[in-house]
Structure 1
């Protein structure tokens, strides 16, 4: 497919984080862009501010010309869209070019120097760090992010088209459409078992991804993963390793050992060893790409993070409120470790919204174990996203497995009053569902109370 022949791009599910980044890309490339989504959000509002027309009802009658012309229109859809979707079926039945988001991303990046970040955890933060590093090193880069960068207030960094940085998403095997020059795998923990069925199939998919590297491409792997490549790790004997870690005023200060030398005096402002690991692999890929040490050090020190990735909403001596997207047991564990490292003596209240019935079912014991680590827990109902309920899989079932005396199942409209009754000094909101919509209300209520 030649994207130059496309004049109009229509998105089904335009409000998704990956879809909206593509929509911004096409707007910047002077295409006419329009789309459908189920709900109005801050993301759809920001796209409408760019001139993108969006409607929120599944109806072909609401799709405007020229997007009904199959000759020069591309239809992009997310696999989260149900197969019964009226608009999607209309385009499929009427000779339109209809592609998944991942296939379009593969097409865009195919003729660029592509750096791809894969792994069940850490993709979004690592991608945003790497995109920021390359941008600050004056590389002509486009970076497609799976979250909103605090530095750019966007999920797209657009500073030229020679180099692309992308998340290589294992969901629905999407990452197999990519052909990267440099790729990394941060983790291969079991997830998306609704797609893969079993962990071994997921691992096979990661192996298949490594075979998508271009000739002479390089693969980076976190030390300990069962793959061959350039290794990275914290304070170990990896090819790239973090050394001499200090915490100064809430920030990490450290050196990086490369295969050839020691690069000194990096500063990184995000807490948590998992984030430090993300910073290391971004630095390693940027070093291999050819970015100079001092520019990288300056760029990393100026990195602000991704919204909903350990994002400080309130940070005072008396009260800290942090919001995080964690939705897998290992991610919750990483958040817990980061909080305990930064605030070892303070009481922590976690508010968690499970994401997907299938994920809750598949990892219920692991969720129970990790959630029990917090001093207090408020548990919300499961956010279904694309799924129908599964019999017996409920938040009540999960709550019963959590060995913590200070636990409670709550409704969203009860959250603020429950939080105010706690004497915890650290408040965490955790989850990938619509709990993110509650953050601003909680922040407002806590700010007034303090």
Structure 2
């Protein structure tokens, strides 16, 4: 391309700045203006562009080609000036089409997900050493840029459906993420929008490089030639399972009869699993080796304004997201909810454009199901003229009908200060919208840090059992671990096992044969216990233990009927109900569990001494050795985790528990007991298992606090007051 001078009207936009960067890298002279200063303008100036804030009649040089976007109206002073001078005028999409002429365009279009998907695709091509050119609608964290002129054959770009410009270039390959009603101010009807997407798909040069989402009903109705992807049965490239991890997501993909197992992507959320699957399929079709694709997906660091972590103050985490359509908002909040689990999620929402609010008025309220609290501010106009009947007040009242007391309005002028007043330590807040709400995150954190609110925490310990001392020591461990800048801590000194086993049996969890008997039954006829043992074919040795006390209190091992009677009398000295169960010969494996709605399971431990444990053996100066992680096979670990999860859920577990199993000589697991308040001393297995899984004792205690706050909020909601901390 011959060296030229280009003048951009509105150069500070994300799409326009990307094109300006490509031209600069090609050696062209680039200048431009924008109505307001921005970081993008500052960066372009450093890269060699001539930048001016504000627009004026004499601002366009007489020898320039003028570039403008759909947002620039015909009455814009520089647009009018360029027309008068008869200068060449290029819509941004026309310039993009020119830049792609000598390349193989790989285009990403759809109502949602274009930026993340195109950025991910560009990243894979870069990591595969294909040196692509790319122009995307977000700043890649890895490159701190939204554009780069490469020497390779491929050109990755977002194809903009909002104004029909995505039809100007026939793609070599393409990804179509979804199709929903948006930009109807341009398209007018659903039918016209659908027809345009059909035309886009039809002009893709190679159908084996057209990847489209089968889960989207409107795309599926178009049935474009190409490769479909999705979760639904019938997709050519089907996601058969997925899970969220601390690092992102893992998914299994069935494609052309081959199962690609545990593909990693460093992004959260089901919607991003879809995006990654599309990129995986397209890259395979381009001949990129599977291992290179995997490594690139795992190393992708995301883009600015797409579930972007902005910072933390006084244990408040702040995120930011560009989502502005109801579907995008819902997907983002769901992904963040699954990542933060039970922490309170506060959405700070700025509606975007009067036309979008008009078209989606009835759908915004349903987008916030995963938020605990929604702080809504004024509609960001994006230079649109107001529309009669479309106001912040009307939208707020419409959303209030569904969201009730968890929705609150805060004026934009005071948003940062007022939002900080609503927040608490351990909250996760997200500014969400395509307007200037993106700038609110840091000021909110600053205001919150100055407030530095505290919780008052009560730690209850002690009790009347013979494990009173263990409870006191556990309470002290928790008190010592809690951060006093977050909590004022007050120490207060002050579960039925047979029921656990009955529930386990109902849920097909292997459990040793047992009998429960109460004191009155036993005192009237001690021999009836022996009769029940015989009738239920419970073989010796047998363990006799109290139902309500710790696992080392008044527990006896009996090998004869007489010993059973003696052991029962001893157990009835400390409890009104006892349990008699058959011994399982094998190894004892303990598992630490944490969570209310989201169940987390730590690395298991093996008790290195079998048989009966005394109190001194468990809590004395030389406690029983525990091996963490327990030396079991991957297959056994999978079974153990599944049984642990099923047991905890069946018992409606809340907060924490330690679940103990026996692993018998044939390799089968048997539920032993569930301890809802496991020991928490320095010798206890519960915190040690979590330490081996990456949680320090301070982090673990803070997780307890988060779970308690979550339970408190849930109880408040049931009482009709849903917005507590």
- Give the TM-score of the pair, scaled to structure 2: 0.58
| SS of match in other structure, 1:366 | coil
The equivalent residue for 2:130 is 139
| SS of match in other structure, 1:359 | helix
- Map 1:239-318 → 2, pairs under 5 A: 239-314=236-311, 318=315
The equivalent residue for 1:188 is 179
Q: 1:335 aligns with which of 332, 335, 339?
A: 332
The equivalent residue for 2:422 is 422
Whether 2:401 is the aligned partner of 1:407: answer no
| SS of match in other structure, 1:5 | coil
Q: CA deviation at 1:76?
A: 0.9
The equivalent residue for 1:361 is 358
Q: CA deviation at 1:423?
A: 4.5
Cα 1:217–1:86 change in 2 (3 A) is farther
| SS of match in other structure, 1:358 | helix
Separation in structure 2 between the aligned mates of residue 305 and residue 8 of structure 1, nearest angstrom: 33
Separation in structure 1 between the aligned mates of residue 154 and residue 171 of structure 2, nearest angstrom: 11
The equivalent residue for 1:68 is 62
Separation in structure 2 between the aligned mates of residue 104 and residue 423 of structure 1, nearest angstrom: 46
Q: 1:321 aligns with which of 313, 318, 321?
A: 318
- Give the TM-score of the pair, scaled to structure 1: 0.93
Separation in structure 2 between the aligned mates of residue 94 and residue 318 of structure 1, nearest angstrom: 58
Contact 2:120 2:300 in 1 (8 A): yes
| SS of match in other structure, 2:267 | coil
Structure 1: 5+ residue stretches without partners: none
The equivalent residue for 1:154 is 145
Higher relative CO (Cα under 8 Å, sequence separation at least 6) belongs to 1
Separation in structure 2 between the aligned mates of residue 217 and residue 254 of structure 1, nearest angstrom: 23
Q: 1:96 aligns with which of 87, 93, 104?
A: 87
| SS of match in other structure, 1:83 | coil
Contact 2:130 2:152 in 1 (8 A): no
| SS of match in other structure, 2:279 | helix
- Map 1:112-127 → 2, pairs under 5 A: 112-127=103-118
Separation in structure 1 between the aligned mates of residue 206 and residue 243 of structure 2, nearest angstrom: 39
Q: CA deviation at 1:84?
A: 0.4
Larger radius of gyration between Structure 1 and Structure 2: 2
Q: 1:442 aligns with which of 438, 441, 444?
A: 444
Whether 2:180 is the aligned partner of 1:178: answer no
Q: CA deviation at 1:260?
A: 4.9
Aligned residue pair count: 441
Separation in structure 1 between the aligned mates of residue 246 and residue 410 of structure 2, nearest angstrom: 36
Cα 1:37–1:236 change in 2 (3 A) is same
Contact 1:135 1:159 in 2 (8 A): no
Q: 1:230 aligns with which of 227, 232, 236?
A: 227
Q: CA deviation at 1:22?
A: 0.4
Contact 1:115 1:183 in 2 (8 A): yes
Separation in structure 2 between the aligned mates of residue 203 and residue 434 of structure 1, nearest angstrom: 31
Separation in structure 2 between the aligned mates of residue 331 and residue 125 of structure 1, nearest angstrom: 12
Contact 1:150 1:307 in 2 (8 A): yes
The equivalent residue for 1:351 is 348
Contact 1:151 1:304 in 2 (8 A): yes
Separation in structure 2 between the aligned mates of residue 447 and residue 174 of structure 1, nearest angstrom: 46
List per-residue Cα deviations over 1:171-219 (Å, max 9, x = no partner).
1101011111111211110000111112222111111212322266632
Separation in structure 2 between the aligned mates of residue 423 and residue 206 of structure 1, nearest angstrom: 43
Contact 1:395 1:409 in 2 (8 A): no
The equivalent residue for 1:85 is 76
Contact 1:131 1:157 in 2 (8 A): no
Between 1:211-220 and 1:151-160, the stretch displaced more is 211-220
Contact 1:181 1:217 in 2 (8 A): no
List per-residue Cα deviations over 1:232-281 (Å, max 9, x = no partner).
01374422223442333242123332225233342212111111111111
RMSD: 2.0
Cα 1:316–1:111 change in 2 (3 A) is same
Q: 2:199 aligns with which of 205, 208, 222?
A: 208
Contact 1:233 1:277 in 2 (8 A): yes
Structure 2: 5+ residue stretches without partners: 453-725
Cα 1:53–1:205 change in 2 (3 A) is same
The equivalent residue for 1:19 is 16
The equivalent residue for 2:382 is 385
Q: CA deviation at 1:421?
A: 2.6
Contact 1:6 1:74 in 2 (8 A): no
Between 1:85-94 and 1:36-45, the stretch displaced more is 85-94
Contact 2:109 2:176 in 1 (8 A): yes
